[in-house]
Amino acid sequence: MQGLQWPDVDFETAFITVNRKVWRKHEGDTKTEARQAPVPMISPVMIALKTHKEQNAGTTWVFEGRNGPLDIATHGTKKIRPALRKAEVEWHGWHAFRRGLGTNLADLGVQDTIVQDMLRHSSVSTTKKFYIKARRAAGVDAMKKLEAVLKGSK
């Protein structure tokens, strides 16, 4: 997100293309080629980005700081937290955000390889091991299904 520039955001096709990374103010290539690919935007994100662009006309970076891209890891959350509080969303950091995205997509029945692609992991095992969290309710449902099968076999 930190490396996004406005030309990377295509409102007509509803895709964001990841072209670069920025870490601690250093711009460079993404960690892997797999990370350089279009990411589909859902309409709430597109609406928020359009509004953000209108309010920040003339900027290069989507999240611009004083001298280039905003350092999202340190300063970005300070700017994001008030909006999240207003939306009654609890913030637990970027990893938790990505894990929540992976878990929610998996809960919706999205294939693991698609979740892997959305999170830009080179291996589906990374996605499954670290970014898809089993929910307690899903475990309860699984045990109820097992119980029903066992009852049916008597």
Give the tens place of pLDDT for each residue, 82-103. 766 777 777 777 788 889 999 9
Query: What is the rounded average pLDDT of the residues 3-26?
Result: 89
Report the DSSP beta bridge partners of residue 38. Answer: 17
* Residue found by looking up tokens 């662009």 in the block: 53
Query: What is the rounded average pLDDT of the residues 108-127?
Result: 92
Hey, what are 16's tokens? 């964001």
Indicate left, alpha or beta for 68 from its phi (over 0: left) and psi (-120 to 50: alpha): left
What pLDDT sits at residue 19? 85
Q: What percentage of the chain exceeds 90 in pLDDT?
A: 39
Q: Between 69 and 113, name the one with better pLDDT.
A: 113
Q: With 60 as the cut, is the pLDDT of residue 76 above it?
A: no
What pLDDT sits at residue 108? 93
Contact status, residue 21 vs residue 3, Cβ threshold 8 Å: yes
Hey, what are 154's tokens? 């008597």
